[in-house]
């Protein structure tokens, strides 16, 4: 008899939890931080990254290993 009552109470609790979850899933949720500012932060990060790489590529003076054609001259041959 005890197990029958325990089983009935357990089913009622599970059903009430399922009903609560169903009610919550149909409610409109308020926008959170990511909904409000996510796209702006993403765009700002992309802009910062592009600006940093553009500055690095054009102003820092890194040698980009470009073609040496026209800059390298052969040494004179020496007969011994």
User: What digits encode the pLDDT tens for the residues 7-56?
Assistant: 655 665 667 776 777 666 666 678 888 889 999 999 999 999 999 999 98
Q: Which two tokens stand for residue 68?
A: 């040496």
Q: Residue 5: pLDDT above 90? A: no
Q: Is the pTM of this model over 0.75?
A: no
Instruction: Quote the number of domains for the chain.
Output: 1
Q: For residue 17, with 0-12 CB atoms within 10 Å meaning exposed, 13-18 middle and 19 or more buried, which class applies? A: exposed
* Long-range Cβ pairs for the range 25-31 (8 Å, 24+): none
Q: Is the pLDDT of residue 57 over 90?
A: no
Query: Which residue segment(s) compose the domain that 46 sits in?
Result: 32-56
Alpha-carbon distance of 45 to 48, in angstroms, equals 5
Alpha-carbon span 76 to 80, nearest angstrom = 13
User: Is residue 38 a part of any domain in this protein?
Assistant: yes
Residue 80 falls inside a structural domain? no
Angle value at C-alpha 54, between 52 and 58, nearest 5 degrees: 120
70 vs 55, residue with greater confidence: 55
């Amino acid at each position: 008899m005890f197990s029958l009552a325990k089983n009935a109470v357990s089913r009622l609790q599970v059903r009430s939890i399922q009903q609560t979850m169903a009610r919550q899933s149909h409610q409109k949720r308020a926008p959170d931080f990511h909904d409000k500012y996510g796209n702006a932060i993403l765009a700002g990060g992309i802009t910062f990254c592009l600006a940093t790489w553009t500055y690095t590529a054009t102003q820092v003076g890194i040698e980009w290993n470009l073609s040496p054609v026209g800059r390298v001259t052969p040494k004179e041959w020496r007969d011994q």
